[in-house]
Chain A
Amino acid sequence: MAQVPSWTVIPVLIRYWIKGRFTKTALISILIGEIFFVLFILFASETFLSFSGRFRIGTELTVITWSLILSFYLIGLIQSGFNGSGLPVSGGDVDYVFTSPVKSRDVFIAKVLMNSLTIVLFAFPPMFALYLRISRFYETSVVIAAVAGLVTLVYFLMGLFLSADVTLSLGKIGRRASLLKSVFIVFVVFVTLVPFLSILNGTPETVTSLIRFLPNGLAAATSIGLVSGSASGEILFFDFILLLLWLGGLLILGIRLSNTHFYELVQIRQPRIGKKIVQTSSRSELNPIGRSVWSVVGTKERIIIKRTKELRALLMNVLFLSGFMIIYSLSGSFQSSPISFLFILFILGSFGSGNGMRWIEKERLWILKTTTISMKRYVKEIFRARVFPLLLSLAPIIIVIGVFFVATEPIDTSSQMSLILIFPAALQIPALMMGGSMYFAAKFGQSTTDDILETQTQELVDIKRFIYQAIINLALIAPIMLLVTGSEMVALFFGAGSTIPLFLMLILSLLYTYIILNIILDKAGNTIAMREDL
């Protein structure tokens, strides 16, 4: 039989992958995610523009900052490339596509086109929103903002190609992979950061152009140059051509690699069993002798959080959040926009929400449900084990913001008084949202290993869960938000005598948090006890 030509097979592969990935329910969830992402991008860009306006940040520093942010994307993709997921291969691909006579080059092209399509569809709206906001600031046109968005898309595609190339080369570089990964990442960070440091020290401008060695710098320089109207047409054109050369070069490299190394992906691809664990052995850290069962339950959860890298991920996120929050507090947005402050509280809360969702995998419930332990108490112990590291990592950020807030803002007494409620609220809200999310995980949480996650029914359950969770979590934190917004009015109304009413409000808010957490965690415990889809 004749070999199927590329022009026939590539569309067939893409068509079936699209059918598998973009189901109706998946599209709804993506749409919801896009809306949230666009809102966040608008909020973040607003904050940055306030900050840069206040501190007279020039376009050079903006380019370097944007280049730094884009480098995180590149670093993430380099890492995923070295982890073997730069070119996602499913079990179905291995069993049916890899065993067919389709050329590996065609499979590679189809994969890359498929991934590119996803990036183009879903990354463009937030990027366009970002550049539109910046173009309004610099009074440039909407068309320019759209072109800047397309330039960033080219960079995003280039990142995908790089990640795929790294994965394809894993079979060849083998044991050097870990060393090369570190070299790659250090190089990207170094080239991105050096101009940042030198511009602050007043080092000549030529040093800052160092970032143009890398695609993230080229993308930042071209897109910011476009929307700010600060760069000359020739330079922009030259930078864009360089970026396209990166893109083309990495694509050609990928096609060449796919001819020789594509089937090594089957060896690289490891079935993901549960959450990712790096180590293979450890001495017992549980030490159960002489301790209560609940203390052991708490320790077990802390061990799991630590070993599944959840704790490390939390600390990394907190690090990024603290950087953002410092910029936010310096931007002066606290005073100018109370709504954006509430949004910040919501972002803090989402940390709790994310942490709460990961606590359960339904296929392990048999271990607990065949014993006599109380599920209500179990859930509360898990909550304690998870909420303390969260609050401990958020507390320093809140203190730092507080210091910036008091030190940099010419605030009046009433605003200072309202801090009595604001800062505890910044911890209460993540705790409440974590409790809410634990309840929803108890109700809808699925296994991370089951195939059920790939079914449309599961996607629908996820959407339902997300919507319910968002609504209920908002309802849970609404009274705290109201007390926070009301505290400034109370401080204004009572003036110097507002200490007592504010402390009463604080007690009310703490009492509310305590009661609601108890109710929601009891409900989570009951839900698990009643769950039958085991």
Chain B
Amino acid sequence: MAEIFVEGLSKSYGDVVALDDVSFRCASGEVFGLLGPNGAGKSTLLKIVVGLLKPTNGIVRLGGHDIVRSPEAAKQIVGYLPENPSLYTGLTVQEFLQFVGKIRGVDDTSLTNQIYESLRSFSLVEKMNSLIGSLSKGMKQKVALIASTIHDPSVLVLDEPLTALDPRTQRLVRDWIGSQAGKGVTILLSTHLMEIAQSYCTRLAIIDKGRIVASGGIDTLRKKAAAGSEANLDEIFLRLTEKSGDA
């Protein structure tokens, strides 16, 4: 299994600083949560981690591979789910997964089985030959989740995986996240849902205006927020982001 190492990460677009000196370490098999208000820089951070964006400064290593210097090695071990995954609507579910498996280097012998098993676990077997364009949002999300793990990654980067899903699909996705964590996959998860963060993440980082304002386990965050021992993550989050806003 592999760890995620982020050190002194910055990202600027001209004068606009999207990320400022972000550092954290996510141990092998850990589920690390990223919380933050809209526009805090969470998606930018995740995009840099998976190699979609280049950092202005800093280091990102996945399983010891630098995403900038050795992108091929790093991308081999990472799976990514964007916030609003856009898929090839003109392909069927099976074709899309075959395509992703092939460009991710999954060998032919395991590709067919891998696709079938994943579709079965998400109850999508009967939709195998459906065009992605004809699927509901929840189904598309399931297809995108399968695509993100088709190559058996040891690191998973999930950007708001439960956004706009109905309760049944949310439950399925939550179980899936739990099963991935159970397999020892390192997960970096961005979410607005405090309940998910609290129940699945071993550690959390709260990010605001491109900076990490607090990180650690829930008790550590409580201390930093000067919240009581009964304070839930909602209260902690509000206190920490308010503080950051005041600063």
Q: A293-B102, A307-B131, A366-B85 are contacts. A534–B52 as well, Cβ < 8 Å?
A: yes
**Pairwise interchain contact B85-A370, C-beta atoms closer than 8 A:** no
Q: Which residues of A contact B53 (CB under 8 A)?
A: 532, 534
B239 is an interface residue with CB less than 8 A from chain A: no
Quick check: is B161 within 8 A (CB to CB) of the other chain? no
Answer whether residue A139 sits at the interface, using C-beta atoms and an 8 A cutoff. Answer: no
Within 8 A of A (CB), among B71-104: 71-72, 75-76, 78, 80, 82, 84-92, 94-95, 98-104
Selected contact of A366 from candidates B72, B82, B89, B104, CB within 8 Å: B82
Asked if A281 is at the interface of the complex by the 8 Å CB criterion, the answer is yes
Taking a contact as CB atoms under 8 Å apart, the answer to whether A282 and B104 are in contact is: no
Contact across chains for A280 and B98 when beta carbons are under 8 A apart: no
CB contacts (< 8 Å) of A297 on chain B: these are: 99, 102-103
Residues of B contacting A372 with CB < 8 Å? 71-72, 75-76, 104-105
Residue in A277, A281, A367, A371 whose beta carbon sits within 8 Å of that of B87 in the complex: A367
B27 interfacial contact with A, CB 8 Å: no
A112, chain B: closest CB distance, angstroms = 32
Residue of A at shortest CB range from B127? A281
B112 contacts the other chain (Cβ, under 8 Å)? yes
Considering the complex, give the chain A residue whose CB is closest to the CB of B73. A372
Interface string of A359-402 (1 = CB under 8 A from B): 00101111111111100000000000000000000000000000
Q: Is B213 at the interface (CB under 8 A from chain A)?
A: no
The answer on a CB contact under 8 Å between A273 and B131 is no
- CB of A274 within 8 A of CB of B100, answer no
Query: Cβ of A274 and Cβ of B129 under 8 Å apart?
Result: no
Contact status A300-B47, CB under 8 Å: no
The one of B85, B86, B90, B111 that contacts A307, using a Cβ cutoff of 8 Å: B90
When each residue 226-238 of chain B gets 1 if its CB lies under 8 Å from chain A and 0 otherwise, what string results?
A: 0000000000000
- A288-B108, A297-B103, A532-B53 known; A281 vs B129 contact (CB < 8 Å): yes
B50 at the interface (CB under 8 A from A): yes
B242 to chain A minimum Cβ distance, whole angstroms, is 31
**SS class of chain A's interface: helix, strand, loop or mixed?**
loop
Q: Are B133 and A304 in contact (CB under 8 A)?
A: no
List chain B residues, Cβ under 8 A from A361: 86
A300 and B95 in contact, given A279-B131, A281-B129, A366-B80 (Cβ under 8 angstroms): yes
Q: A284-B92, A300-B99 are in contact. Are A370 and B86 (CB under 8 A)?
A: no
* Contact (Cβ within 8 A) B95 A284: yes
A2 in contact (CB, < 8 A): no
With A273-B133, A297-B103, A366-B82 in contact, do A371 and B108 touch (Cβ < 8 Å)?
Answer: no
Asked whether B80 lies within 8 Å of A370 as measured between CB atoms, the reply is yes
Q: Are B86 and A449 in contact (CB under 8 A)?
A: yes
B131 touches A282 (CB 8 A): yes
Say yes or no for A175: interface residue by CB 8 A criterion. Answer: no
The answer to whether A369 and B92 touch across the interface, beta carbons within 8 angstroms, is no
Chain B residues, CB < 8 A from A176: none
A371-B104 CB under 8 A given contacts A304-B90, A447-B86: yes
Which of A283, A296, A361, A370: most chain B CB closer than 10 A? Answer: A370
Q: Which residues of A contact B99 (CB under 8 A)?
A: 286, 288, 296-297, 300
- A285 near B131: Cβ-Cβ < 8 Å: no
Q: Mask for A280-306, Cβ within 8 A of B = 1, else 0?
A: 111111101110010011001001100
B108-142: which have CB < 8 Å to A? 108, 111-112, 129-131, 133-134
Do B86 and A364 have beta carbons less than 8 Å apart?
Answer: yes
- Would you call B75 and A370 a contact (CB within 8 A)? yes
B95 touches A286 (CB 8 A): yes
Contact check, B91 vs A300: say whether CB atoms are below 8 A apart.
Answer: yes
Asked, given contacts A280-B130, A281-B130, A289-B111, whether A275 binds B89 with beta carbons under 8 Å apart, the answer is yes
The answer to whether the Cβ of A140 comes within 8 Å of any Cβ in the partner chain is: no
> Is there an interface contact between A303 and B91, defined as CB atoms closer than 8 Å?
yes
Q: Tell me the bound Cα distance from A286 to B95 in angstroms.
A: 6
How many of B's residues come within 8 Å of A, CB to CB? 41
**A65 contacts the other chain (CB 8 A):** no
Q: Quick check: B111 and A288 within 8 Å, CB to CB?
A: yes
Docked pose: A303 CA to B88 CA in angstroms:
11
Q: How far is the CA of A359 from the CA of B53 in the complex (A)?
A: 22
Closest to A374 in B: B72
By a CB distance below 8 angstroms, the chain A residues around B108 are 288-290
Given contact pairs A363-B86, A534-B53, A281 touches B101 in the complex (Cβ within 8 A) = no
Does A370 contact B50, Cβ atoms closer than 8 Å?
yes
Nearest-CB distance from B99 to chain A (Å)?
Answer: 5
Q: Is B192 located at the chain interface by the 8 A CB criterion? A: no
B residues within 8 A CB of A526? none
Chain B residues whose C-beta falls within 8 Å of the C-beta of A289 in the assembled complex: 108, 111-112
Q: Is there an interface contact between B52 and A284, defined as CB atoms closer than 8 Å? A: no
Minimal beta-carbon separation of B34 from chain A (angstroms): 18
Q: Please name the residue on chain B nearest to A296 by beta carbon.
A: B102
A308 located at the interface, meaning its Cβ lies under 8 Å from any Cβ of chain B in the complex? yes
- CB of B37 closer than 8 Å to a CB of A: no
Chain A residues with CB below 8 A from B95, complex form: 284-286, 300, 303
Please tell me if the beta carbons of B100 and A288 are within 8 angstroms of each other in the complex: no
In the assembled complex, the Cα of A275 lies from the Cα of B88 at a distance in Å of 10
CB-defined contacts of A283 to chain B, threshold 8 Å? 92, 129
Closest to B109 in A: A289
Give A497-534 interface residues, CB cut-off 8 Å to B: 532, 534
What is the CA–CA distance of A303 and B91 in the complex, to the nearest angstrom? 7
Instruction: Compute how far the CA of A368 lies from the CA of B86 in the bound complex, rounded to whole angstroms.
Output: 12
Contacts of B111 in A (CB 8 A): 288-289
Chain A residue nearest to B128 (CB atoms) is: A284
Closest residue of chain B to A530, judged by CB?
Answer: B54
Bound: A26/B105 CA distance, A: 45
- CB-CB under 8 A from A370, the residues of chain B are 50-52, 75, 78, 80
Q: Mark B38-59, 1 if CB is under 8 A from A, else 0.
A: 0000000001001111100000
> Is there an interface contact between B90 and A288, defined as CB atoms closer than 8 Å?
no
Residues in chain B near residue A304, CB distance under 8 A:
88, 90-91
Considering the chains assembled together, what is the distance between the CA atoms of A409 and B191 in angstroms?
72
Per the bound structure, the CA–CA distance linking A274 and B140 in Å amounts to: 14
Q: Give the complex CA separation of A188 and B131 in angstroms.
A: 35
Chain B residues in 8 Å Cβ range of A286: 91, 94-95, 98-99
Distance in Å from the Cβ of B16 to the closest Cβ of chain A?
Answer: 13
Contact B103 A277 (CB under 8 A): no
Q: A280-B131, A289-B108, A366-B52 are in contact. Are A371 and B75 (CB under 8 A)?
A: yes
Contact A284 B129 (CB under 8 A): yes
> Could you mark each residue 155-167 of chain A with 1 if its beta carbon is under 8 Å from any beta carbon of chain B, else 0?
0000000000000
Chain A residues with Cβ below 8 Å from B101 are 288
Could you write out 13 A-B pairs with CB less than 8 Å apart?
A274-B90, A282-B131, A284-B129, A286-B91, A286-B99, A288-B111, A296-B98, A296-B103, A304-B88, A307-B90, A307-B91, A368-B103, A372-B72
Nearest 5 Cβ contacts at the A-B interface: A363-B86, A280-B134, A307-B90, A304-B90, A372-B72
